[in-house]
């Protein structure tokens, strides 16, 4: 059986990396303050759940995984959350590029109409 501390250490590593990556995206200008606040809250909540599984035991009614399928399910949910984060980040980049193109086109159209 997989030791719980190994799972916690792996989860902490992934969540710390995602927290750092969120901050880097903010510094690059891809995310705004609200995006950083939202994703940081998600990562912090998951860190608390990773280190204090007893805190969520009233919801789960157990403190450990009893079947290997439970571990796979939790891992899959974590992967899906990371995929959603990646898609959200890419969408923000495309949104910024699209706004820039539309703004440039509108400015060039306005300049063209002024010349005539």
Please tell me the predicted confidence (pLDDT) of residue 7: 77
**Tokens found for residue 108:** 């060039």
Q: 25: closest CA among 39, 14, 15?
A: 39
For 40-71, what is each residue's pLDDT tens digit? Answer: 988 888 888 777 776 666 655 555 556 555 66
User: Residues 13-20: what's their mean pLDDT?
Assistant: 91
- What's the rounded Cα separation, in Å, for the pair 83 and 68? 23
Residue percentage of the chain with pLDDT more than 90 = 22
For 87-111, what is each residue's pLDDT tens digit? Answer: 998 898 899 999 999 999 988 887 6
């Amino acid at each position: 059986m997989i030791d719980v501390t190994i799972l916690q250490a792996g989860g902490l590593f992934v969540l710390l990396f995602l927290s750092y990556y969120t901050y880097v995206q903010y510094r690059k200008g891809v995310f705004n303050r609200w995006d950083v606040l939202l994703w940081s809250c998600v990562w912090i909540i998951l860190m608390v759940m990773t280190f204090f599984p007893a805190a969520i035991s009233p919801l789960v009614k157990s403190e450990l995984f009893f079947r290997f399928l439970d571990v796979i399910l939790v891992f899959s949910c974590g992967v899906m959350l990371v995929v959603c984060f990646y898609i959200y980040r890419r969408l923000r980049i495309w949104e910024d590029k699209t706004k820039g193109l539309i703004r440039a086109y509108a400015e060039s159209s306005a300049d063209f109409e002024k010349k005539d």
